[in-house]
Amino acid sequence: MATQYEVEHNVQFAETQPRSRRVNMDSFFSLLNRISDSGTATPHNNPHATPTLPDMANVFRLLQDQMQTLASTAPTAENRTFLLELIDALDQDILDPPDRLRGVSQEFLDSLDRVNRKKLRGDDDCAICKIPYLDDPYCLVVELPCKGAHRFDLECVGPWLRSKGTCPMCREEMGKKKVAVVQEDDEDDDMDMIYA
Ligand SMILES: [Zn+2]
Ligand SMILES: [Zn+2]
């Protein structure tokens, strides 16, 4: 431990550079994983998968904290307004939590289209954190399956998608694609199997 601090002053300037406005969401994800039924082998038979309403309210409170933190240091008025709208929407979920999370699964997040760096322009930025994507040499940008094909840093939009299940920009529900992925084979496939 002492060794870590001894070397710290050598890299202090690089480390204190605010190159990211992203908020640590560890407590959000640990709560979400505890109450979420995704990832368990028997999702519908797991009694621990039924979250309590206070748990639900806390999920949205932690998500609201993320947006509050970003709003408090918003670089533009537009960004601040956008974040305050998200914060307002979450008030309702905190006051009157739903009995089921409508968010998408982690598998859905993992399957989102990643935007190649070569397709990003220098001034393209994430609507949530307003940091230009290319400022981060390891940026992970996803494109949502909404009509607007809205893009965000995966890290910025992940918590919202997992709990709200909508595009933060246009509020289009992501659920449809998720359902389509887990649905049984469609009719054409069934016909193929029958007549093969
Ligand atoms: Zn971002
Ligand atoms: Zn959208």
The predicted-structure confidence for 85-109, as pLDDT tens digits, reads as follows 999 999 999 999 998 888 999 999 9
What's 142's DSSP letter?
Answer: E
Mean pLDDT of the 160-188 span? 74
- Best CA proximity match to 104, nearest among 145, 148, 150, 58: 145
Please indicate, yes or no, if residue 2 is contained in any of the structural domains: no
pLDDT at 183: 45
The whole-number pLDDT of residue 181 equals 45
| Cα–chain center distance at 164 | 9
Residue 17 included in any domain: no
Phi, psi of 143 (to 5 degrees): -110, 125
**Closest-approaching ligand to the CA atom of 151:** 2
User: Is 50 exceeded by the pLDDT of residue 60?
Assistant: yes
Ligand closest in space to the Cα of 144:
2
- Top pLDDT among 22 and 89 is at 89
What is the whole-number distance in angstroms between the Cα of residue 10 and the centre of ligand 1?
Answer: 29
Ligand 2 center from residue 189 Cα (angstroms): 31
Which pLDDT score is estimated for 182? 44
Length in residues, the chain:
196
pLDDT of residue 46: 55
Selected residue with higher pLDDT from 184 and 21: 21
pLDDT digits (tens, 9 = 90+) for 106-138: 999 999 999 999 999 999 999 999 999 999 999
Give CA–CA dist 47/124, Å, rounded: 44
Residue 44 forms part of a structural domain: no
Q: How many domains does the chain have?
A: 1
pTM of the model: 0.76
- Compute, in angstroms, the gap from residue 3 CA to the centroid of ligand 2: 47
Q: Could you tell me the distance, in angstroms and rounded to a whole number, from the CA of residue 179 to the centre of ligand 1?
A: 27
Amino acid residing at 117:
R
Pairing verdict, β 113-114 and 151-153:
unpaired
- Res 136: pLDDT: 92
Q: Is 102 part of any domain?
A: yes
Residue whose token pair is 């002492």: 2
Residue-range definition of the domain harbouring residue 104: 24-30+51-164
What is the residue-averaged pLDDT of the chain?
Answer: 82
CA of 13 to the centre of ligand 1 (A): 23
Nearest Cα to Cα of residue 150 among 82, 69, 58: 82
Q: Which residue has the higher pLDDT, 1 or 115?
A: 115
Residue 157 domain flag:
yes
